Chains A and B, each alone.
Chain A
């Protein structure tokens, strides 16, 4: 570090000399070193964003943190805050009838849905990466959710299908559902397991709609990663006579592993920020009842929990990731 700095200083000195020489020659003096100038340009490039972030992100974020410790009333012209300590947090945890339940439900759902989405999207990406007729069409169909799933249409779709559609999700997921699995288990001679397993699998099958619909971007990313596997690795595996099973675990998996982390984080954030999950619904409900302090406290609790979860998970997953070093 210090060596670097002295070098920089030396550089500065020589730069000064040069600028002095330049002055002598009648040119405009350049008092800043190259590194300094680049630094300034760097600030120049991000200055627009800095202003915006300060105004539209950091200040509101700080305010919402402030609100979470206060009683907030909106009066004409301004919002009035009154220090309330940790009472809002206490309210969220101990008094609010729905919040802790919603929190539990949302976290649980994220916990089991995320791995399923990851596995599913990796599988589909591998399939879509193979060559077959109609691949372009298949890709187009599987990416289609990307353009719909963030919007209000998706709410109607999922609501309608679950309640009022002429063929509910329950009905059409039966083709993947319990009976089939149970029968298969019985056929294979596994009896005791099938009830527990059947239950788990039926939950999964009932949610297959949600899983398929929320893995568009993940498939896209995995597919991109798969196409980045160098042909040399593929050739080597072929020459060594790897079966496709071995190929998947020894070649494909290590190469896409960085994307597993990226997708994991993306999936968690997506399910966490979706206005359709029950915690978000509760927060918005509180907000529409003008309980801003409570709403902010809930939002912050939720935010910190998810932040911690992402931190822990990415620290763990990071250990198993293979980064190719060029």
Chain B
């Protein structure tokens, strides 16, 4: 509270007031100020310590990426590399086919997230504002979607996509992006249960008068949704979209189940080790110890989170403040 440096006059006033107080009150005020100061110190220590726990892996990644592998064996090198180099980064980018994977990932990521946010918003609105038979039961299904891990249903889903269609008309959808797009389109993509829940809560929180006004003006429910509700929900749309992008970005289970040739950044990172083994580690001319291999692994981590990290840095406000407005709090 009193972090700001108070102007001298204000300090004078405070002093005067302290002098005019009865002794008991003065003691009380002094004690409170002292407690405040101690707490401030403790807060600083705690936040720094825990902040370090969080930042440590990132700092380590950056430090490893730009050092030569010999530095790993040098006991004097802790954080700051002795020999700076970009070779490791370049080799890792090559091994991961980073730019190609990035293109696929972005195409998949942004497309799916966009489609999924829209479909989940429509569904959430349906659950929030309309009364129909079996709503409670159906909403129970939404909760089930949150609870059931994908791993439980991945095998039947695989066979379903492998032989997709009706009767004898079957197509193999494995490896096609439709395996991601179709569920996203029908509000069944990654963590869509949670998203439906968020949107439902949000739309429930909006005043009903908004829609009533639109209905009276002769707007149908769907147009009301698009013209009145969506603009009001813009910021929560953005937040949910950003989270969705992150979740799709981080997914490797689903993509490695359905994709064999389509490469996303997450699956490439999973395969980085074997890829590196083929390219660098098994080269008989150079001996690379297990410890030295960390350099490449960390570089892989760094480049695979770099895009989301950048997004986070620039749009941080929407991540942290959006939740407050997104209606989870009502």
Point out residues on A near B: beta carbons under 8 Å. 35, 38-46, 48-53, 55-61, 63-64, 67, 74, 77-79, 124, 127, 130-133, 138-148, 150-153, 156-157, 160-161, 164-167, 172, 175-176, 208-209, 212-213, 220-221, 223-225, 227-228, 262, 269, 272-273, 275, 280, 283-284, 287, 292, 295-296, 299-300, 303, 306-307, 310
Contact = CB atoms under 8 A, between A and B. Distances in A.
Nearest to A78: B163
Contacts of B266: 151-152
Interface residues of B, number: 91
B144 to A, nearest CB: 8
B101 to A, nearest CB: 13
A144 B312 contact: yes
A77 B163 contact: yes
Contacts of B155: 64, 67, 287, 292, 295-296
B151 A275 contact: yes
Given A49-B196, A55-B186, A63-B156, A145 B126 contact: no
Given A56-B182, A61-B152, A220-B323, A48 B119 contact: yes
Nearest to B312: A147
A140 B149 contact: no
A187 B305 CA distance: 45
Contacts of A61: 144, 148, 152-153, 156
Contacts of A38: 130-132, 221
Given A132-B40, A220-B320, 10 more contacts: A42-B126, A52-B119, A63-B156, A127-B47, A140-B312, A161-B56, A161-B57, A172-B56, A283-B151, A303-B152
B265 to A, nearest CB: 9
Interface in B1-53: 1, 3, 40, 43, 46-47, 49-53
B221 A50 contact: no
Q: Which 5 A-B pairs have the closest CB atoms?
A: A52-B186, A42-B130, A45-B126, A151-B250, A60-B156
A139 B151 contact: no
Given A42-B130, A228-B329, A165 B60 contact: yes
B182 A221 contact: no
A309 to B, nearest CB: 11
Given A127-B47, A280-B151, A303-B148, A56 B188 contact: yes
Nearest to A284: B151
Interface in B154-199: 154-157, 159-160, 163, 182-183, 185-188, 196
Main secondary structure of the interface of A (DSSP, over half): helix
Contact of A42 (B131, B150, B251, B328): B131
A130 B131 contact: no
Interface in B52-92: 52-58, 60, 72, 78
B323 A52 contact: no
Contacts of B187: 48-49, 52-53
A105 B40 CA distance: 39
25 contacts: A38-B130, A38-B221, A42-B132, A51-B186, A53-B187, A53-B188, A60-B153, A127-B43, A130-B43, A132-B40, A141-B51, A151-B251, A151-B252, A152-B269, A152-B304, A153-B304, A160-B297, A164-B291, A167-B78, A209-B53, A224-B324, A224-B328, A273-B150, A280-B151, A299-B149
A58 B320 CA distance: 34
Contacts of A295: 155
A42 B221 CA distance: 9
B246 A150 contact: yes
A57 B246 contact: no
A140 B125 contact: no
A41 B126 CA distance: 8
B153 A57 contact: yes
A171 to B, nearest CB: 11
B57, B125, B313: residue with the most chain A Cβ atoms closer than 10 Å:
B57
B54 A142 contact: yes
Interface string B293-319: 010011011001100110011001001
Nearest to A145: B54
Interface stretch (B133-141, B230-238, B274-282): B133-141
Contacts of B1: 131
A161 B55 CA distance: 13
Contact of B138 (A46, A148, A300): A46
A150 B247 contact: yes
A292 B152 CA distance: 10
A160 B294 contact: yes
Contacts of B313: 140
B247 to A, nearest CB: 6
B123 interface: yes
Contacts of A221: 323, 328-329
Contact of B53 (A50, A165, A212): A212
Contact of B47 (A138, A283, A284): A138
Contacts of B240: none
